[in-house]
Each structure stands twice: as C-alpha cells, then as structure tokens.
Structure 1
Amino acid sequence: MPRNIKLLIAYDGTDFSGWQRQAGRRTVQGEIEKSLGKVHKESVNLTGSGRTDAGVHAAGQVANFLTTIDSMEARRFVPALNRILPEDVRILEAAEAGEDFHSRYDAKSRTYRYNIIPGSAFPWELRYAWQLWRQPRIAVLNEFASFIRGEFDCSVFAVPGDKSISRSRYISGASFFYEGGRLVFEITANAFLWKMVRSIVGTLLYYEEKGLGPQSFVEILASKNRSLAGPTAPPQGLFLWKIDYYRL
C-alpha cells in the first residue's frame, strides 16, 4: 500500500512562475514533481497546501505525495530530492503522514510574512523585500491591522480575477513589527483570497501615508469595494511562512 509522505519546503520564488505546475513555465511544483519522478522512475503527483504567485517565496510550504517505495525511510527523501532539485528549492523535512492526510484540506491556518525595507538596502536584499524609501508610522499601521482581525467579508482586498465563491475569511492575527532592520507584516488566517496579503499590505501603507483616520478605514473595509483599496504590494516581499494543521 502506498505511503503518504509530507514535505516541508522552502524556495526562492524570484525565478519561478509561482507554485502551481503550468505547461511551458518553470514552477516549484513542477520542479519537485520532476525530481520525484527521477527518484521513483515514474510520474508522481504532488499536492501543495496552497498556491503562491510568481516572485513569492516560502519558508514553510507543505506538500504531500504517495510513494510506492517501501525500502526508503521518509526522512531519506530530503537528501534524495535535494541532490536533484535546483538550488532555489530545498526540502527541509520529510515525514510519513496518515494515509488520509491532505496538505491543503487539513490545514487549520496559514501564516504569511511580508518584508519591507524603509530606507537604503543592499542589492541582494531587494529579492526578498519591498524598498519603501520612507519610515511608516508603525502605531498607525497596527491600529489599521487591528480592524482586519476576526471573520469578515474581505471583498475590499479581492483583486480582479479572484474566483472564490465566498470571500469571508477568519483572520486570527495581523500585526507589524521590526526584525533585523526590516518592517515585517505577519498575518494568519484560515485561508486567503488571491493576492489578498499583498493587497492588505499595499492598502494599509497607502492609507497610513495619506493620514486616514481609523473610522474612515473601517468604513472602507465595510464598503467591500476594491476600488477604495490601495495598490497591491509587489511580490518579492512576501513569504509563505507557516502552515498549521488539525492533524498529520
């Protein structure tokens, strides 16, 4: 009987067309499936916890696949795959999961981090952060962020092309803090709309710079009108940080 293997994955999304396999494009899922195919000598389907867009990175993406190899311990997939994979994708952990484990449907919450450099930066940092060229007021940003916690209709952050049937999401945490000279926005929710985190970051920074008051910001959230939101932040600052599960 095939074993279900859970992978913890990190990648630099700069040179990828996102996570999901696409014909004729370089994707993270596609590269890992190619490597799994070489190890198994047959095609293997990889299921991810969710999609990331082109240019978006991951420190804690989770995926699972079924293996017919009986002789290999789950942890041995780490070196076996990393020897084949390109250097911008790394398997951090591999473990055997329950036969019914599904990396997407069993996810309880997803955490993203967005990195902002409020000033000068080394050139290599610009692959992993948005250079803002100003010092935003973190107290104002955190006041705005407090209003997006809880369950609400997130239509104001829905970009054109989002195909979600429901736009209601439960956000359990959202805050800004400084870490290593960077301004970091961390957000945790049960799920996200397409480009939702980048839309939130762009909106909060836009209205902080404009000097909008908290009550006006609350009214914008309630409007469900995307045209009232700010610009979408660029992809390079965004990291899929962590996935938490109900079961493994």
Structure 2
Amino acid sequence: MVRLRLDLAYDGTDFSGWAKQPGRRTVQGEIEEALGKILRLPEPPVLTVAGRTDAGVHARGQVAHVDLGVEAFGALESRHGRRAPAAPSAEAESAAARSGGAGSAEARSGDTGSAAARSTRAGADVARPAGASVEIGSALAGSAADAGAPDDMDERLSSLRRRLAGVLPPDVRVYRVTVAPRGFDARFSAMSRRYAYRVSDAPGGVDPLRRREVVWYSRPLDVDRLNAAAAALLGEHDFAAFCKKREGATTIRELQRLDWVRQDGILVATVVADAFCHSMVRALVGSLLPVGEGRLAVDWPGQVLTRAVRDSGVHVAPAHGLCLEEVRYPEAGELARRATETRRVRTLSA
C-alpha cells in the first residue's frame, strides 16, 4: 500500500460538510468518487482528513490521506505515456535475484533511475508542512520505494492531480498530491489547525462578492474588547461550554491563539489550537461578538469557560464565515510519535 497526502481547498457553501453522508453532497464523497473513477477502482477509496468541517464551512488548507494499492497507479500515465507496471510477484523477484539480472537487489540499488532516487527529486517539489526539515524528501522516497511504487511516481501523481482537476466540481480542488512520509496520519499527526473567521460590521452590509465567506454583524464591533475577552480563553482547558458533546470524546483542548484584527474593513479572528471539538470555533466566536458590541462584559466568555457547561448565551456563529486556513505537522521523524500522543485520552493536569 502507498499512502498519499492530499492538500485541498473547497467552498463549503453547497456542501453538507466534509464527512460522507447518504443522500447528501459532501466534500469527502466528491473526492472519493473522483479517485475511484480515475483509478478505476471497484470501490471508492476512503479518505482520512485533518479537520472534519461542518456544512457551509470553507477550507483553504485542508489535508487528507488515502491508502492505495500499488496496482491502482496502473490507471495513470506519465508524461511519456507509460503506465505503471504491475507489482512483481514474490516468485519473479526471487528468480531475478538468483539470476543476478536487472531485477536483483544489487542492480536495483545501483539504478540511478530507481523509485528512491526519483521520489527524492520529487520531494523537492513537495510543499513541506511548516516546521518540517529537508529530511522529509528522503522519508517520502523511502515510503514509496518500500511499497513497491512505480519508478516514475512523481509523474503519475502529477497526472492524478490534473485528472482530479478535470473530474471534480469547481467548488473543490486538490492542488497537491504527494507520497506521505512514513508515520504520517492526516488527522492524528497534526500539531495544530488554524482557522479564520471573517465578519463585517459595515453599516451597508457585506460586499456582495464576498457574501459566501464574510458574515454581516449589524452592530459596530470594538476590536480591543474582542481581544481582551479572547485572551482569557487561551491555554489548555476543558472547552465543554463551547463544544457539542460527542459520546466518548474529550473536550479538553489547548487554545494556542485567538485574536482579532481589522483588515480592509473586515474583522478577522485567527484561531489556532492543537485540535478542535465539534462547533468549538464558531461557539467561541459567537460568545465574543456580543462582547465586541458592548452588550456583554469583557470577562463573560472567561466565566463561561470556567463553569465548563453550555450557557444559553453562547450562540454558534454562522458557518460561512469560517475557513480552515492551515494544518501544521511536525518534522518527518516525529510524525508517528505525534500520532501516538494524539490518540491518548487527555486529562487536565492538577
């Protein structure tokens, strides 16, 4: 199996969220269907995503992974018109090794056109996760070579990206496809997710050309009050008051950043955490907006957080103002360890 990393973006307006649902149009469903069609698979592959966005929420920096058998790449042609060869059988490899021919381990290790060499070159074109070292190139090469991927893997992935652009609807784009480093898990290896929430308090309303991504707020908002209230929410806490509970899921999160700026007449909240529970970002924003207009005290959101129970005054802000901007991952050598840490049940330290 070869694990691929997909970097993607979508306009969430006409989607019922990321997660596949029977009878509903979802981002996951569209991409899985497109992959199955292009790769001629009997069943669509299953994607694992960094952040499961709700209906109407957008993404500019979403990340997903998918595991594919080597034979799936046979449906992709390189620039030279070659199709991926079928994976060699154990008997064929054994016979080649005994004969000392071109298929032997010694010959393969000295072949400058090997999968490792080609994939290492391809690694230079990979957009590395923030904080990742240059060693990620060799990790990419190793993971592809170990899986028996075709020698021209980088060309075939470029072909896959182009064909996805032709098959997918215009409101979702897969703009990068790469072989994932060893230990990479789009969801559990992530160190943080960064969201942006956009609000306009302009008296005349939102620019019609930005109506799909900016929420209109009918009263003037004070950025200083918004930031003063947001500061009390930073750190590791139980965010139960700002989350929709899910059976067996923890609501303990580390909120690393929450601040507001006014850019070209638009108020933009930047929200960063190691992970978010269901509706957490929109609930945080919804609790801050009444503070920004002066209707609630600056310390009110902090008091709600301390009580750790849902308050009737916390309203979930509209979905279309929210966009997943970036998912950050550790260096290649730390991916597996990070995934193991993330899977542990979290508790607050005394």
* Superposition TM-score tier, normalisation by shorter sequence: over 0.9
What is the aligned residue count?
246
1:64 aligns with 2:65: yes
**Cα deviation code 1:31-50 (max 9, x no counterpart):** 00011001210022211112
4+ runs of 1 displaced by more than 4 Å? Answer: none
Contact 1:220 1:229 in 2 (8 A): no
Match of 1:81 in 2: 164
- Give the Cα separation in 2 of the matches to 1:164 and 1:190: 19
Using the aligned pairs only, state the percent identity.
36
Question: Alignment partner of 1:227: what SS?
Answer: coil
SS in 2 for 1:128: coil
What is the alpha-carbon root mean square deviation over aligned residues? 1.7
Moved more, 164-173 or 180-189: 164-173
**Which stretch of structure 1 is more off in the superposition, 231-240 or 199-208?**
199-208
In the alignment, structure 1 residue 194 sits paired with structure 2 residue 195: no
Determine the structure 2 residue equivalent to 1:101: 184
Q: Residues 216, 87 of structure 1: CA spacing in aligned structure 2 closer, same or farther, 3 A cutoff? A: closer
Q: Contact 1:156–1:229 (CA<8 Å) still a contact in 2?
A: no
CA distance in 1, matches of 2:279, 2:241: 12
TM-score (norm 1): 0.93
Residues 229 and 291, structure 2, Cα contact 8 Å, conserved in 1? no
Residue identity opposite 1:225 in structure 2: V
Matches of 1:147 and 1:139 in 2, distance apart?
13
Q: 1:201 to 1:6 in 2, by over 3 A?
A: same
- In 2, the alpha carbon distance for the partners of 1:146 and 1:228 equals 22
Look up the match of 2:199: 116
Larger Cα-atom Rg: 2
Q: Which amino acid aligns with 1:88?
A: D
* TM-score, normalised with respect to structure 2: 0.67
Once the two structures are superposed, residues 46-80 of structure 1 have per-residue CA deviations (whole angstroms, 9 ceiling, x without a partner) of: 11112000000000000011232135423332212
Aligned mates of 2:193, 2:248 — CA distance in 1: 17
- Check 1:216–1:90 CA distance in 2 against 1; reply closer, same or farther (3 A cut): closer
Structure 1 unaligned regions, length at least 5: none
Q: Would the alpha carbon gap of residues 128 and 163 (structure 1) be closer, same or farther in structure 2, given more than 3 Å must change?
A: farther
| Structure 2 residue runs without a partner (length 5+) | 74-149, 333-350
What residue number does 1:230 align with? Answer: 314
Does structure 1 residue 26 correspond to structure 2 residue 25?
yes
- Greater relative contact order (Cα 8 A, min sep 6): structure 1 or 2? 1
How many Å apart are 1:210 and its aligned residue? 4.1
